[in-house]
Structure 1
Amino acid sequence: MPGRSSSGSVVAGTAGLVDFSIGTDIGGSVRIMKIYFGIYGFRPSHNATSVNGVIPLAESFDTVGIKADDIEIIPDVAEVLLEQPSHHSENFTT
């Protein structure tokens, strides 16, 4: 049973409705999903991604992270969110 603030996007991903999803990570909502649902989560550093449109919970911790069933998708999405090249093969391992 999903929980936490990013549960809707996790359900969409694990159901195969989307290739990836984004969500806020303040207390582990992106990172902890691997433990419970077997998906990968990436939480960028604070202020590395835009939080425009995010309803703040803790502004000094709010950040937008990426979740995906396939780890190979995360670097491509990160490149767009972080607005810089990901150097895919150097930074991510399975």
Structure 2
Amino acid sequence: MNECPYSDAKEDLLRRLKKVEGQVKGIQRMVENDKYCVDVLVQVAAVRAAVNKVGTMIFEYHSRGCLKKASRDEEDKDAAIEDLVGVLTKFIK
């Protein structure tokens, strides 16, 4: 089982995710109420930015964990770098 490198920030991450959930529900209400397209798009952009922030935070914790592990074990440095590149590739898709 993999360690949870972001456990120290768990409350902050959950708070941010609950805010995103509220924003998405707000967008749903906007669409149901036929709100102006530009206003809906602005809210969609805000949700995207909020989700990206959460992902960036988790990626940062993961990256720090990989780097710490790699610095402890010389043989695992290449594997840690490959893991980091793989995770980054998935995250930026």
TM-score by length of 1: 0.24
Larger Rg: 2
